[in-house]
Amino acid sequence: MNMIESNERLSDAEIGERLRLARESRKITQAAAAAIIGAARTTIVAIEQGKRRIQMDELQKLAAAYGTSANVVLRRAAVHLDMVPRFRKLQESEDDDVEQATRLLNDLVRAEVELENALGVVRERRYPPERPILPGDLYTQAEQHAQELRDWLGLGPGPVTDIVSILELQLGVRVYVRKLPGKIAGLFAYEERAGACILLNASHPHVRLTQSAAHEAAHFISTRRQPEVLTEDELFVSREERYANIFQRCFLTPGREVRQRFAEITAGQTHLTRRHVILLAHAFGVAREAIVRRLEELGLARRGTWDWFVSNGGISDKDVAQVLGDAPERPSYRGLFRGLVPPRLALLAREAWKKELYSEGQLARMLQLDLHGMREVLDGAEREESEADELVRIPR
């Protein structure tokens, strides 16, 4: 396989800037970097400013310390962006797990943009207008913005069954689903070259992942330029987080539709039962607790209804099976993505490999996969190439 190369050498200033970004992303000081190559701090300053040409042995030592390689630093097609420092301004950023998750998001975005550039692919952004949070009633704003997004997407009143595909394919948001520590639900960031980017936890159940995606979509709508980390113990204290939490509920369970379904399901009944809750939760593709809390919020159930269910045996999976029988389950993102890469990014990787632009090993490093995982992504690519026929060539 041939690595992407250019006959035109990178300038010393370009190499220096790439090294600076890599060093800062690893929180390594210039003094510490200088010690790695046995030089004075002023030498690192000069290298990063492009005033002093770096030697190959120095480049290899620094690249290894920065968690990259000389190959990546010198590859002209390589995209060097660093969103990690933006997250460090957040309170959650002091957590090592959050730091690793932000680094993973950054690496996946960087890899996808590089593959797009190498293949000449332009990602279309179909973003709705940004809607800043204004003074006044927060609930009314979040509900209105959530309905506007549903209208923009043409969703109608139905449930949101695959929010990842909606965000990625209909809006052009970069969405990645990877296994993360349980306490991290999702991350959102915006970068000028890459656009809006979301990372979700593949370890979470489908309904939880859907809620996290809708929460991050709220930040995409209202506070697009601010990075955000959604964690297990989120208190939703700030106005922005309270907005996002309301937006999530209104987007997944629109008030008008919930009221209509509730009236249909409970017609002639005097008490809210487990069966009602199970049917409503299934209809909207949300958790049982989420739908009951929503009913309480809309005044369709008394405050404390969910707590009553919990203290009286809860609503178990066995109860669900008895009510729904063999009803098809919602798709599992863990199964859909197999913990690897989303379909669009997989197609880019397969095409780059078939064109011999990148080796299997290079792609594995770019996409943060082991070789086994990379082979799963590339599985069948050779057969596709051998079966190519002019009859099925895509007209260009």
Rounded Cα–Cα distance for residues 165 and 343 (Å): 9
Domain count within the chain: 4
What is the rounded average pLDDT of the residues 270-293?
94
- Of the spans 12-21, 70-79, 81-90, 308-317, which averages the highest pLDDT? 308-317
Q: Per-residue pLDDT for 180 more than 80?
A: yes
pLDDT at 364 over 70: yes
% of the chain beyond a pLDDT of 70: 88
Torsion of Cα atoms, 142 then 147 then 153 then 158, to 10°: 120
Task: Give yes or no for a contact between 210 and 166, defined as CB atoms under 8 angstroms apart.
Answer: no
**88 and 68, same structural domain?**
no
CATH of the domain at 59: 1.10.260.40
Same domain, 125 and 220: yes
Quick one: pLDDT band at residue 228, thresholds 50, 70, 90?
very high
Is residue 6 scored above 50 in pLDDT? no
Query: pLDDT tier at 338 (50, 70, 90 boundaries)?
Result: very low
**The pLDDT of residue 78:** 66
Q: Is 85 left (phi over 0), alpha (psi -120 to 50) or beta?
A: alpha
Of the candidate ranges 80-89, 325-334, 386-395, the one whose mean pLDDT is the lowest: 386-395
Domain limit, last residue, from 331, 361, 381? 331
29, 149: one domain: no
Which of 62-66, 178-182, 390-394 shows the lowest per-residue confidence on average (mean pLDDT)? 390-394
Q: Does one domain contain both 70 and 86? A: no
Q: What residue numbers bound the domain in which 238 lies? A: 81-252
The per-residue pLDDT for 241 is 92
pLDDT bucket at 7, cuts 50 / 70 / 90: very low
For 17-48, the DSSP string reads HHHHHHHHHTT--HHHHHHHTT--HHHHHHHH
Q: Using CA atoms, how far apart are residues 83 and 387, in angstroms rounded to an integer?
A: 41
User: What confidence category does residue 393 fall into, taking pLDDT thresholds of 50, 70 and 90?
Assistant: low
pLDDT mean over 213-237: 90
Task: Supply 102's token pair.
Answer: 């932000």
Asked whether residue 97 falls in the same domain as residue 167, the answer is yes
pLDDT for the residue 73? 82
- pLDDT at residue 91, as a whole number: 72
208 & 230 share domain = yes
Residues 55 and 68 in one domain: yes
Exposure b/e, 144-176, CB count within 10 A at least 16 = b: ebbbebbeebebeeebbebbbebbbeebebbbb
- 339 vs 292: CA distance, rounded Å: 31
Bridge partner list, 73: none
pLDDT at 2: 37
Looking at residue 291, what is its pLDDT?
96
Tell me, what's the pLDDT at 158? 82
Q: Given this model, what pLDDT does residue 394 score?
A: 54
The tens digit of pLDDT for each residue in 240-251 reads: 999 999 999 999
114 or 137, greater pLDDT: 137
148 shares its domain with 219:
yes
Looking at residues 200-224, what average pLDDT do you find?
Answer: 94
Statement: residue 329 has pLDDT above 70 = no
- pLDDT mean over 263-278: 94
pTM: 0.80
Of 27, 61, 78, the residue that ends a domain is 78
pLDDT of 201 = 94
- Per-residue model confidence (pLDDT) at position 25: 77
The reply to whether 66 and 22 lie within a common domain is yes
Same domain assignment for residues 164 and 95:
yes
Instruction: Kindly state whether residues 323 and 347 are assigned to the same domain.
Output: no
Mean pLDDT of 359-366: 88
Q: How do residues 28-74 score in pLDDT, each as one tens digit?
A: 999 999 999 999 999 999 999 999 999 989 999 998 998 888 877 88
For residues 128 and 149, membership in a common domain is answered with yes
Q: What is the pLDDT of residue 93?
A: 62
- In angstroms, the CA 186 to CA 176 distance is 10
What is the percent of the chain with per-residue pLDDT over 90, rounded to a whole number? 56
pLDDT for 121-161, tens place per residue?
888 899 999 999 999 999 999 999 999 999 999 998 888 98
pLDDT for residue 233 is more than 80 = no
Q: What is the mean pLDDT of residues 302-308?
A: 96
Compute the average pLDDT of residues 109-122.
88
Q: What pLDDT is attached to residue 301?
A: 95
Which range, of 9-18, 255-264, 279-288, averages the lowest pLDDT? 9-18
How much is the mean pLDDT over the chain? 86
Look at residues 28, 49, 78 and tell me which one is the last residue of a structural domain: 78
